[in-house]
Amino acid sequence: MKYPTISAGKNGSAQTLQFGGLNRRETGNEGEFSDMNNIAGGQNPCITVRKGRAEAFSVKDTSGKEVNIQAMIAPKYENGPLTAFTGVAGGAFYYNGEKTPFEDAGKTLPEDEKMKISGNDICLADFNGVIIICPQMYYFSYVPEPDTAVRKMEKGFYGAAVKAYSSGNPEEDAEVINYLEKANGWGDTFKSGDCIFLKGFEGDLAVNNTVSIDSKFEEADDSRPLSVVVQKIEGNKLYFQMTNRRGKLMVLKNGTKNASGQAATLDVYIPIPDMNWVCVHNNRLWGTNPNGEQIYASKLGDAFNFNTFAGLGTDSWYSEIGTKGGFVGIVSFRDSVVAFKRDFIHHVYGDKPSSFSIPTQIEDCGCIDIKSAAVAGGNLYFLGYRGFYAYTGGNATLISDKLNMTYTGAAAMTDGRNYYVHAQRSDGKTEFLKFDAELGAWYKEDDINLAGYVRWNNNLYAAEGGHVWRLDGDNSGVKWFFDTTVITEDTMQTKGVFDLFLRVDNKGGKDISVYILRDNGETRLCGTIKDDAFRTHRVPVRFQMGDSCKIRVEGTGDCVIHGIERTVYAGGKRYR
């Protein structure tokens, strides 16, 4: 601690004109606080009260009953203010406040049979006006016009009776022909460029089944197709190109010969990998396999295409991961993608499949809750086993040692400069914290339990229960306090405080109370500031001799503290 030294037998004064943040360790520096509530900082070097929370909107079902919010998103390809909820609440999807039905295989399901979106580990991503719901892998499109239902990303034909045809020799020809013929045609389910999956071939045709990339243990030898891409649809015929893992052209085979009208019952569909978390980065949808074995990137500009491997810069991509454990999540960070496990950080570099790489894997430091990940001030912040970390691309740096607390989960958001996080403590309590990335200081607001955040038009919105609050409201009713760290004046001599002087801009005009706590004893009221002017106030303190003290200031409403000065008398040493 750095405090002015007071000589014995003399009066001295000490000023605090530069305030820091929260420091709950046993000792702290001048200007730091051992405890606080509803303090936001942000106007360095002053200490300020947080903004109020005004209800922006709530979420109710058709009966008018409030429903709990599980995940929230702001449709970023819309204009205007944010006036209604978009996201998942009560197991249902809402778009701009309207509950949206689920549709499966072209049929809208009855209310009691609908697909419910369960759990709180739900990830929402906006890909060019298509909202992806993960890990269920549903989607809702609102561009150019809102769709009528939530649908599965995977789509196609299951148990379809087809005939398989091929011609050409991939060893000699630059192009070969493959197609499936199905009575009643293929409708508008597929389009040119879609990557499809063929499953169900048997006997001599079994070699034509597409290899899955959901596991690194799946066999993917050169005789099996890895990528099947639609070329065109003409009447009942679906034309496509097949390539193996090396990008070599393949034909539909019937034993050693080309297929020539052999009948089969197939599943022909657009495959979507099993992903537990997704993010959007450089016009691709990225995701992690929950088994911890794969990281995926979609085809450029196409969130529904993960199996195109034609050797082009627009191809989809995947990488096998050898570290232990499942993935916790994935985020876009600067010009890269970062995927987390609990004990590892995987940083994906590059801008196209030929350059995508994971050259380093940071060990012994990972993320335990991906909802805690957010970018502020150019750094990626997240919660690990030991606390909150800042990551810039190298080693992660622990930044929460002054909080002196262990956390088990968190949900975070940023306004660009500050990192806001609702944190679940190991003692069962919760707290809403703010980290000022420029000052490196923590502030505690309160213990509100927030489920998630969105940022819209440079404003933050937070979900609690069935309510969404805007975090820049009137703070006239906000009750606040702060306790200084232990003040010892850097001397073992006994000392006492005569007066306290506070330079205060009491914008709210309400009473501000000033307390002294001596030697961790009871807290004693010294005086109350009632003036709403911006000026310095003197608070007399009855002479008390002791080894240390804390100062507590509390009030209600808008207020800015510019400085605190204390007049101190140091005496002799007193031992026990």
Using DSSP, state whether 273 is helix, strand or coil.
coil
Asked if 145 and 161 sit in the same domain, the reply is no
Report the candidate in 295, 328, 481 with the shortest Cα–Cα distance to residue 410.
Answer: 328
Q: Which pLDDT score, from 0 to 100, does residue 511 have? A: 94
Long-range contacts of 323-326 (CB under 8 A, 24+ apart): 323/292, 323/361, 323/363, 324/292, 325/292, 326/276, 326/290, 326/291, 326/292
Query: How, if at all, do strands 523-529 and 69-72 pair?
Result: unpaired
Asked if 553 and 506 sit in the same domain, the reply is yes
Q: Does 457 score more than 90 pLDDT?
A: no
Q: How confident is the model at residue 23 (pLDDT cuts 50, 70, 90)?
A: very high
Asked if 145 and 67 sit in the same domain, the reply is yes
Residues 8 and 549: their CA atoms lie apart, in Å, by 17
Q: Does 409 score more than 70 pLDDT?
A: yes
Is the CA virtual torsion 63, 67, 71, 76 positive or negative?
positive
Q: Which domain holds residue 132?
A: 53-152
Q: Does 2 score more than 60 pLDDT?
A: no
Asked if 172 and 143 sit in the same domain, the reply is no
Residues 530 and 552: their CA atoms lie apart, in Å, by 16
pLDDT digits (tens, 9 = 90+) for 366-380: 999 999 999 998 999
Using DSSP, state whether 160 is helix, strand or coil.
strand
Q: Which pLDDT score, from 0 to 100, does residue 115 have? A: 53
pLDDT digits (tens, 9 = 90+) for 85-115: 999 999 899 999 999 988 865 555 444 444 5
* Whether the Cβ atoms of residue 165 and residue 261 lie closer than 8 Å to each other: yes
pLDDT digits (tens, 9 = 90+) for 274-305: 999 999 999 999 999 988 999 999 999 999 99
- With respect to residue 336, please indicate whether it lies within any of the assigned structural domains: no
pLDDT digits (tens, 9 = 90+) for 308-339: 888 889 999 999 998 999 999 999 999 999 99
pLDDT digits (tens, 9 = 90+) for 44-86: 889 999 999 999 999 988 788 899 999 999 999 988 899 999 9
What average pLDDT does this structure show over 122-131? 96
**Any idea what DSSP says for residue 512?**
E
What average pLDDT does this structure show over 410-416? 92
Q: How confident is the model at residue 523 (pLDDT cuts 50, 70, 90)?
A: confident
Among residues 152, 176, 198, the one where a domain terminates is 152
- With respect to residue 85, please indicate whether it lies within any of the assigned structural domains: yes
Asked if 180 and 159 sit in the same domain, the reply is yes
The kind and range of the H/E element at 537 are: strand 534-540
What average pLDDT does this structure show over 233-255? 92
Asked if 71 and 176 sit in the same domain, the reply is no
Instruction: List, in sequence order, every residue forming a beta bridge with 527; answer none if it has no partner.
Output: 514
Residue with tokens 């209310």: 111
List the CATH number of the domain containing 558.
2.60.120
- With respect to residue 369, please indicate whether it lies within any of the assigned structural domains: no
* 192 or 360, which is more confident: 192
**Percentage of the chain lying above the pLDDT 90 cut:** 69
Residues 84 and 368: their CA atoms lie apart, in Å, by 31
Among residues 152, 187, 213, the one where a domain terminates is 152
Confidence (pTM): 0.89
Q: Which pLDDT score, from 0 to 100, does residue 220 have? A: 60
Instruction: List, in sequence order, every residue forming a beta bridge with 284; answer none if it has no partner.
Output: 281
Distances (CA, A) of 567 to 14, 60, 349, 545, 561: 7, 57, 58, 13, 18
Does a cis peptide bond (omega within 30 degrees of 0) precede residue 135? yes
**Percentage of the chain lying above the pLDDT 70 cut:** 93
* Whether the Cβ atoms of residue 308 and residue 195 lie closer than 8 Å to each other: yes
Asked if 170 and 213 sit in the same domain, the reply is yes
Long-range contacts of 397-403 (CB under 8 A, 24+ apart): 399/435, 399/440, 400/442, 401/25, 402/21, 402/22, 402/23, 402/24, 402/25, 402/28, 402/32, 402/442, 403/22, 403/24, 403/433, 403/442
The count of structural domains within the chain is 3
Q: Does 6 score more than 60 pLDDT?
A: no
pLDDT digits (tens, 9 = 90+) for 469-500: 999 999 999 999 999 999 888 888 888 888 99
Phi, psi of 86, rounded to the nearest 5 degrees:
-125, 125
Asked if 86 and 189 sit in the same domain, the reply is no
91: left (phi over 0), alpha (psi -120 to 50) or beta: left
Out of 10-24, 167-181, 289-303, which region has the weakest mean confidence (pLDDT)?
Answer: 10-24
Long-range contacts of 107-115 (CB under 8 A, 24+ apart): 108/149, 115/150
pLDDT digits (tens, 9 = 90+) for 538-556: 999 876 788 888 999 999 9
Asked if 246 and 213 sit in the same domain, the reply is yes
Asked if 120 and 205 sit in the same domain, the reply is no
